[in-house]
Each structure stands twice: as C-alpha cells, then as structure tokens.
Amino acid sequence: MLLEVSDLGKNYDASRRRGKVAGNAAAGTPRALSGVSFTAGQGEFITVIGPSGAGKSTLLRCLNRLIEPTDGAITFDGRDIAHLPGSRLREVRREIAMIFQNYNLVYRLTAIQNVLHGRLGYKNALAGSLGLYTEDEKARAFELLDEVGLGEFAYRRADQLSGGQKQRVGIARSLMQDPKVMLCDEPIASLDPKSSRMVMETLRRLTRERGITCIVNLHQVDFALEFSDRIIGLRAGEKVFEGAPEEATSAVIRRIYEGDAETMVDVPVEVPEAAPAAGAPGAFAVEPVAGGVQ
C-alpha cells in the first residue's frame, strides 16, 4: 500500500502548537482525531465526508505533517513519516501535494510563478529563494498550465484569475511536484457548480491517467458519491464509515451527519443512492467560506 494510516490521533490541548486548522477544529472538542486507520492504494480516489468540525482538515494536515499528530503511525511509500525529524520532512512533503479551499496562491505573483513553486521542495535554498528554475522546469510548468487549460494566462497575476482558474493553477502547482499523493482540502467549497465539476473531473482524470492517489475532503455528498472509489465518513474525530459509494446509502450518510442540524439540510437524504446527481446544482455547502476571496 502506498499510504497506511493506523490509529491516528490528534489532541489539540496536548500539543500547544500554533498551527491553525482552517476553522474546523471546534473549540472544546477534546480530541480532534482518535483512532483513525485506513489505507490508500496507488491511483485511488478517496473522499472524506463528515460534518464541520469532524476533523477532516486535521486528518489531511496530519498526513503531510502541517499538523503534528499526537499518536498513531503513518507509513508512506515504506517510510514512517509520523516520526520523521523536521529536517527531512521536505523530502516527503514534495511527494505529497496539497490543494486548498482558498487556493492559497501567492496572489501577487503570476500564474506561471505559482506553478513553479511546486518545484521548491526539490531546490536548494538559494536557487529556490531567488526563483532560479531550470529550462526543463519552466517548459514543464507551461505544459501543465496548458493541460489545465490556462496556457494563455501564464503571465496573468493570480489575483486577476477567477476562482475556478485559481484552483486549476493550484492543481498545476501540485502536479509540478510530481506527487504520489494529492491531498485536497475542500477543493470546491468556494466554487460555483460548473467550476466545481470541472475541478473534480480534473482530479479524477489525474488519478486515472497518472496513478496519483487523491484524498479529498468534501462537503458535497453528491459529488463524493459520484466521483469516489471509496468514501470515508468522519464524525467527532472518529471514522464511522468506510466503503464504496454504493454502500453509502442515505441511511449511512444520515448517520455520519447525525446530530449536526446545520449540515443536515444539505444531505440529499431523499435521493435514492443509485441516482445521486439528482440533487446536484442546489446542494451546496453551508459552511461559511473561511478566508474569503484572495
């Protein structure tokens, strides 16, 4: 298995790190994650669903150590990365790309500069700081921009792109890393239905064509049912469901979101599990957009 997570736990009170979870770790929750185990094979498309504050963001950020897990083990490509010393973290991080709800582009730089950032993990401090990329890297960055349909926007500043375009620059940046795994934290939560579909289709294509493993946090259950190979349900930091989309019946989904009145509204409980797309365009996350527009 490419990625094996066993008994992963995170307790925010125990570790007084100042790293913030994107507004998801509800205050007063004693454990953000406890005893989460799963594996991910090459080229698998896994979505993680669950109510706000269930620990989805924390889970993803533990996998690339943006957040330090309190206990448990993570094995990536045969290496134990949960206990890797900080100095060797970048070797692992460059193979685990991440895309974000708010795109997190350096908005004053151009699209092409943002794509090239994906190479920073492979460059020494001086070359990376000064932005000295090789001709091969530059050519590849242009190729990737073309591939996500943004070739003509290469020299456009990131803050002049639309939300969907920004997210595709984010995807190109992560592909620049030549990743084995892509972690996607609410990649479509700030996008309109059309852009959302486009981004999800791009992600699925990557898993099929390049064998990249995608782990995607989603609020849109209908998209999860349509795109995933496997769905993991999180509630209050614990894994409460794991299975194929066919197994995620409306009863199962209701159980995952149980007791979360706000999100209940979005769960297409009336939709029979065979035709998940019926509730599509309207089914949008209620969760407020965290960082707003960049």
Partner 1 sequence: MSAAAPAAPAAGTGRARAVDLTWFRRRQLRTLMGVVAVVVAFQLCSMVCNFSLTYALGSVPAAFVWMFQNFVPTAESLANFPLVITQTVSTALDSAAATVIAAIAGIVLSVLGSSTIGVSWAPVRGAIRAIASVFRNIPMIAWALLLLLSFKQNEFTGFLALFLTAFGQLTRFFLDTFDEIPTGPVEALKSCGAGYWQIVFQAGLPLAVADLMSWMLYMVETNIRSATLIGLLTGTGIGFVFNLYYTSFRYDTAGLVIIVTIVFVLVIEAVSNVARRSMI
Q: Which two tokens stand for residue 275?
A: 């035709």
| Residues within window 177-206 making contact with partner 1, judged by CB under 8 A | 177, 183
- The values of phi and psi at residue 233, to 5°, are -105, 130
Using DSSP's 3-state secondary structure scheme, residue 252 falls into helix
In the complex, minimum distance from the CB of residue 222 to partner 1, in angstroms, rounded to a whole number: 27
What is the closest distance, in whole angstroms, from the C-beta atom of residue 131 to partner 1 in the complex?
7
Strands 71-76, 33-40: pairing kind: unpaired
Q: Which of residues 267-286 bind partner 1 (CB under 8 A)?
A: none
108 within 8 A of 158, measured Cβ to Cβ: yes
Min CB(259)–partner 1 separation in Å: 26
3-state secondary structure of 171: helix
Site for partner 1 in 97-116 (CB under 8 A): 97-98, 100, 102-109
DSSP 94: T
Q: Considering only 40-48, 129-137, 251-259, 266-274, which stretch makes contact with partner 1 by CB under 8 A?
A: 129-137
Binding mask 140-179 for partner 1 (x = CB under 8 A): ------------------------------x--xx--x--
Which residue in the set 27, 78, 85, 130 belongs to the binding site for partner 1 (CB under 8 A)? 130
Residue 56 binds to partner 1 (criterion: CB under 8 A): no
Q: Under 8 Å CB-to-CB from 47, ≥6 apart: which residues? A: 215, 216, 217, 218, 223, 224, 227, 228, 230, 231, 232
Q: How many residues bind partner 1 (CB under 8 A)?
A: 39
Contact criterion met (CB below 8 Å) for 219 and 189: yes
Report the DSSP pairing between strands 181-185 and 3-10: unpaired
Separation of alpha carbons 217 and 24, rounded Å? 12
User: Judged by CB, which is closer to partner 1: 89, or 252?
Assistant: 89
Those residues whose C-beta lies under 8 Å from the C-beta of residue 63, and which sit 6 or more positions away, are: 3, 5, 74, 76, 96, 181, 183, 215
CB under 8 A: which stretch of 1-9, 70-78, 123-131, 241-249 binds partner 1? Answer: 123-131
Span of 35-43, 83-91, 145-153, 249-257 interacting with partner 1 by CB under 8 A: 83-91
Examine residue 294 and tell whether it contacts partner 1 (CB under 8 A): yes
Least separation in angstroms between residue 285's CB and partner 1 is 18
